[in-house]
Amino acid sequence: MGVSISVEHLNAWYGTTHTLQDINVNLPANHATALIGPSGCGKSTFVRCLNRMHETNPIARATGVVKMGDIDIYKDAQPVQIRRRVGMVFQRPNPFPTMSIYDNVASGLKLNGFRNRTVLDETVERSLKSAALWEEVKDDLKKKSGASLSGGQQQRMCIARALAVDPEVLLMDEPASALDPVSTSKIEDLIFQLKSQYTIVIVTHNMQQAARVAENTGFFLNGKMVEFDSTHKIFTNPKDKRTEDYITGRFG
């Protein structure tokens, strides 16, 4: 089941650039939240702060409180523990090229030392089914490399890989921006189904996509979260002038 995320006074830097400035927001459990805003506004950095991937860059740093349920992820846990509870899907599909489809999906478990064959088999099948890819790949699981799939299939495999470690939160950083419209709609259907079981945060440049999949939407601009509200409200009756300018395409 998903877990709610509360963010208090989150600040993040890349070197001397202050990329995120005092973010405060509550993301409800088992809902999808969309993050919109122009390029370089801090959406991706925000998402990467939620699973402590931000700090893998040696010049990056973050301060503030991020709570998943009762756990303060910056105080009470190691980064690797957090990342096992928070799945991440990246902008470009990033399969492990040397691994089979099976090993790609099982990688989160296998690379963390999990060896039980039966459980692995079950997990791989369940994850691929959740990611709506099982029917397309079930005959080539161990024969084909993950990199041999099409872009859309690769991305669904990456989603399956993230689901296989049984996370509570799923972070998606523009998961469909490198895909064609058919694959995009498959991914969107998937998000729609998955949000009953996971807390989903999705960064997108596609405002229709935000409207289609997310209950809540946050608008970022220049490192600040300008507005956060129900998606319906953001798109029909935003409070802030800048949000309105952005969603109507009048942004300079």
Partner 1 sequence: MSTNPLHVSPPARDNGALPPSAKRASTWASLNSVRRYLVNQLVTVLAVMSTVVVIVPLVAILVYLIYMGASSLNLAFFTHIPAPVGETGGGMANAMVGSGVILGVASLLGIPVGIGAGVYLAEFGRGSLLAAAIRFTADVLNGVPSIVMGIAAWVLLVKGRGFSALAGGVALAIMMVPTITRTTEEMLATVPHAIREAALGLGVPKWRTVLSVSLKTASPGIITGCMLAFARVAGETAPLLFTAFGNQFWSFKLTEPIAALPLQIYAYAISPYDEWHRLAWAGSLVLIAMIMVAVTLVRIYASRGVLKGAS
Binding site for partner 1 (CB under 8 A): 51, 53, 56, 58, 80-85, 87-88, 90, 92, 94-100, 107-108, 111-112, 140, 143-145, 147-149, 158, 161-162, 165
Q: Of 41 and 141, which CB lies nearer to partner 1 in the complex structure?
A: 141
Q: Of 96 and 192, which CB lies nearer to partner 1 in the complex structure?
A: 96
Least gap, CB of 230 to partner 1 (angstroms): 29
Least gap, CB of 70 to partner 1 (angstroms): 19
Q: Of 101 and 247, which CB lies nearer to partner 1 in the complex structure?
A: 101
Nearest Cα to Cα of residue 179 among 137, 151, 208:
151
Least gap, CB of 103 to partner 1 (angstroms): 9
Contact predicate 191/172, CB 8 Å: yes
Backbone phi, then psi, for 40, in 5-degree steps? Answer: 80, 15
For every residue of 178-222, DSSP letters joined together read TS-HHHHHHHHHHHHHHTTTSEEEEE-S-HHHHHHH-SEEEEEET
Q: How many residues does the structure list for the chain? A: 252
Question: Which helix or strand (DSSP H or E) is residue 95 part of?
Answer: none
**Angle, helices 151-164/181-194, rounded to nearest 10 degrees:** 20
Q: Of 172 and 210, which CB lies nearer to partner 1 in the complex structure?
A: 172
Least gap, CB of 203 to partner 1 (angstroms): 14
Q: How far apart are CA 182 and CA 170, in angstroms?
A: 22
Q: Of 115 and 241, which CB lies nearer to partner 1 in the complex structure?
A: 115
Place of tokens 């506004």: 41
**Angle, helices 117-130/181-194, rounded to nearest 10 degrees:** 110
Q: Of 18 and 144, which CB lies nearer to partner 1 in the complex structure?
A: 144
For every residue of 41-71, DSSP letters joined together read SSHHHHHHHTTT-GGGSTTEEEEEEEEETTE
Least gap, CB of 59 to partner 1 (angstroms): 10
Least gap, CB of 50 to partner 1 (angstroms): 11
Q: Of 95 and 223, which CB lies nearer to partner 1 in the complex structure?
A: 95
Place of tokens 């309105």: 244
Least gap, CB of 200 to partner 1 (angstroms): 15
